[in-house]
Chains A and B, each alone.
Chain A
């Protein structure tokens, strides 16, 4: 297990800027920190060997390791602002759609210390006030809307009522009722929590899993039928004289703000990023885009497993030296003197914001893809992962930690405990798989490393050939676009740059259109739409609509991102298939073994001569490697003019078979017949692709995640590394690439 885990407040920092480090003990008593540049993180004895470089920087010696823990669970918190103290008669009301009953007691709405509505361990709605608890004996129905009201009269009459809205087509909906008579007392609560209450330690607790829509508080006792009528006409509710607050979740949905539509404006904020822009009680399929009918998207889906900001206190802050070269670095935290147990807080030292470094090559550190996979549990939560791996799941130490600490927060590959998809992933928490040395589930037989650690095969190659480079992150690219890319001749990707925002895609396309050179050294790149939120730095949204290999769907009518309103899913379905940018697009995946490429006649084209210069390649290249034993594998892309591959693109080499674990992507599997597998379907292949652009630029795409694992074979002495180096040398030469006259696109 891990004696301590940690995170930094940023994944990208410039020289001279501060970086804060948050650490929690999980058994460690103390720790020491040092700074290291990460060169090559794979510890496979068949690989080039682990390599990092210590940076001489005093980080302050030994520190006490303090246990801080994880506190997942989302809710809404509304300060009372003095408007709750006069309550005697009242009605609390809301629409709710529970999605999980798991033996815990959860809260729907609470004025802590005064009144509360919740669902008990058996799934029955209860309400509490004045020391009395009412319970509806029938359990709620999962995934069904209910209207709940809880009223107290000035004389002490309590009424809890619940109607199940699936019965709404019947003539009369008879509410389930529970009543009592009590001695009223003044309200001492000064806040309202929705989907939680306050726990004994003062933190939000008792998190609800499910949707809540239009919660409201009235300063009088109302009948359930009146409540149901009022909630159904929410837009006119503000004229109701007894209304004290009514929270319209369909307002300001792209922010953390929760708006009270009453004249009191008891506004609040969400906590731990629940899913907004979700279909509400009144949604019946009338509209599929929340931007056109936000009133129908008045629900929030809360989860007891939501996480945004882990919120640990800062252990220490360092300032990155002005003269430290751009690169990938890690704060290495060694607990109790045991180097083997060190935790690595990895971050990118980007180039200075106000001046160029002189490097003409940039490595695009794919933080969006790292976030998408952050703390992923595919080999643990998804039984089919082992089928896709073609071998037994390996659980490294960080996986063992994840298994027993799910509160660290999920990746967008998981479902919440209620089975709904995880839309959000945040970097404001420890990301255990963003470390060197760690093994994974999907990296193929051999090194079995994935995302960041696999990308260090690229960093190690750059080091081995003595290439100077800057490191820029997805977030930098999102924020600065082509202004940042314009500093470089060449942009090199990681092995699996799968997730991109629109500004990132547009910047990269603008770069190659204007003469930039892109080396896409991976597979399944530029696949999913993701978005950031200006009100919530560090968190990313992904809604996997319709197609794509995906672990869940966002639910009917919920395909548009809450953060930006964009239609979620594949870039291919949003007018920007990856073939436009890099000539190839995702075609298949399998995580067992990889294959070589076979050269095609295009490899002999004079336009491609520079790629093979000095090499004596046979018909086959890359029949070796650390990622499944070949250069073509794990996730593979094909050239496809129908998806936008330029007509003049050269497919230099292709893999010609894969195991039957490799199957067709759903977006191409229009008619699922049994021949769509790796030993049968010609379309399942990796295409090594090159093309020039009208602006004098060029693109080289491997269409394979496994490529870098072959680059690292034999200490980077092999034809795959040599081909990649040839491409880099020519791409870094500012001479224009000319479009071929006979094969114009």
Chain B
């Protein structure tokens, strides 16, 4: 569980991620990703699911899924969300997690001065 909280001061790291989702990251971005990809926020409890990419066509097509925490529970597919590019999927899931954790739309937050 993380004690870190994402807020507007992390927007620079969001820009960094969207520019290059895979590979070397600044320590600040890595901290944001550790929270998004880990087991949740201390005090707020675990996020009840993890976003996953459900393979429909290996190396070609993925559905967005929600993997529940409980072993044996089925993965829920998010209706209408299909990716044909893993980098695009990373960006979209980052934005969804930003919204889940801050309540803010990432695109809007980035467009504000």
Contacts and interface: CB of A to CB of B under 8 A. Distances in A.
Interface of A: 43-45, 377, 379-381, 383-384, 386-387, 390-397, 400, 403-406, 417, 437, 439, 445, 592-593, 659-661, 679
Contacts of B25: 659-660
B25 to A, nearest CB: 7
Contact of A593 (B23, B51, B54): B23
26 contacts: A43-B59, A44-B59, A45-B59, A380-B67, A381-B71, A383-B37, A383-B38, A386-B37, A387-B34, A387-B37, A391-B86, A392-B51, A393-B52, A393-B53, A395-B52, A395-B55, A395-B75, A396-B55, A403-B71, A405-B72, A406-B72, A439-B55, A592-B22, A592-B23, A593-B23, A660-B25
A437 B74 contact: no
Interface in B4-58: 21-25, 27, 30, 33-34, 37-40, 50-55, 58
B40 to A, nearest CB: 8
A417 B73 CA distance: 14
B24 A403 contact: no
A660 B22 contact: no
Contacts of A400: 54, 75
Given A381-B71, A383-B38, A395 B23 contact: no
B42 to A, nearest CB: 13
B98 interface: no
Which range contains the number of B residues in contact with the other chain? 20 to 34
Contacts of B58: 43, 396, 437, 439
Nearest to A43: B58
B93 interface: yes
A170 B39 CA distance: 41
A377 B93 CA distance: 21
Contacts of B104: none
B24 A659 contact: yes
Nearest to A407: B72
A391 to B, nearest CB: 6
A379 B40 CA distance: 15
Given A383-B37, A384-B38, A403 B21 contact: no
B67 A391 contact: no
A679 B33 CA distance: 17
B22 A406 contact: no
Given A392-B89, A397-B55, A445-B86, 11 more contacts: A386-B37, A387-B38, A390-B33, A391-B21, A394-B62, A395-B54, A395-B55, A400-B54, A406-B72, A445-B23, A659-B24
Contacts of B50: 383, 386, 393
Contacts of A417: 71
A238 B86 CA distance: 67
A593 B53 contact: no
Contacts of A383: 37-40, 50
B38 A390 contact: no
B71 A406 contact: yes
A483 to B, nearest CB: 41
A436 to B, nearest CB: 11
B13 to A, nearest CB: 14
A391 B22 contact: yes
Nearest to A679: B24
Of B50, B53, B59, B74, most buried by chain A (CB within 10 Å of CB) is B59
B22 A395 contact: no
A659 B25 CA distance: 8
A381 B73 CA distance: 12
Contacts of A386: 37-38, 50
Contacts of A405: 72
Interface in B58-90: 58-59, 62, 65, 67, 71-75, 86, 89-90
Contacts of A393: 50, 52-53, 67
Return the 10 tightest CB-CB contacts between A and B, nearest first.
A383-B39, A386-B37, A387-B37, A396-B55, A393-B52, A394-B53, A593-B23, A406-B72, A395-B52, A395-B54
A409 to B, nearest CB: 13
Indicate the member of A384, A391, A661, A679 with the most B CB atoms within 10 Å: A391
Contacts of B33: 387, 390
Contacts of B39: 383-384
A45 B58 CA distance: 9
Contacts of B52: 379, 392-395
Contacts of B24: 659-660, 679
Given A383-B38, A417-B71, A394 B23 contact: no
Contacts of B71: 377, 380-381, 403, 406, 417
A404 B74 contact: yes
Contacts of A384: 37-39
Contacts of B72: 403-406
A387 B25 CA distance: 12
Contacts of B74: 403-404
B53 A659 contact: no
A410 to B, nearest CB: 9
The listed residue with most B CB atoms (<10 A of its CB), out of A377, A387, A406, A437, is A387
Nearest to B69: A383
A25 to B, nearest CB: 19
Identify the interface centre among B23, B51, B62, B86: most chain A CB within 10 Å of its CB. Answer: B23
Contacts of A379: 52
Contacts of B62: 394
B75 A392 contact: no
A349 to B, nearest CB: 27
A380 B75 CA distance: 10
Nearest to A389: B37
B90 A391 contact: yes
Given A43-B58, A394-B55, A403 B67 contact: yes
Nearest to A340: B57
B27 A660 contact: yes
Contacts of A45: 59
Contacts of A387: 33-34, 37-38
A397 B62 CA distance: 11
Nearest to B54: A395
Contacts of A659: 23-25
A698 to B, nearest CB: 36
A314 B21 CA distance: 48
Nearest to A384: B38
Nearest to A660: B30
- Identify the interface centre among A380, A437, A679: most chain B CB within 10 Å of its CB: A380
Question: Which of A44, A383, A396 has the most chain B CB atoms closer than 10 A to its own CB?
Answer: A383
Given A43-B59, A593-B22, A659-B23, A395 B53 contact: yes
Contacts of A377: 71
Nearest to A393: B52
B65 to A, nearest CB: 7
A691 to B, nearest CB: 33
A554 B50 CA distance: 28
Nearest to B37: A386
Contacts of B27: 660
B21 to A, nearest CB: 7
Contacts of B22: 390-391, 445, 592-593
Contact of B53 (A44, A392, A403, A660): A392
Contacts of A406: 71-72
A432 to B, nearest CB: 14
A400 B89 CA distance: 19
A377 B70 CA distance: 12
Nearest to B1: A383
Contacts of A381: 71
A474 to B, nearest CB: 28
A228 to B, nearest CB: 37
A660 to B, nearest CB: 6
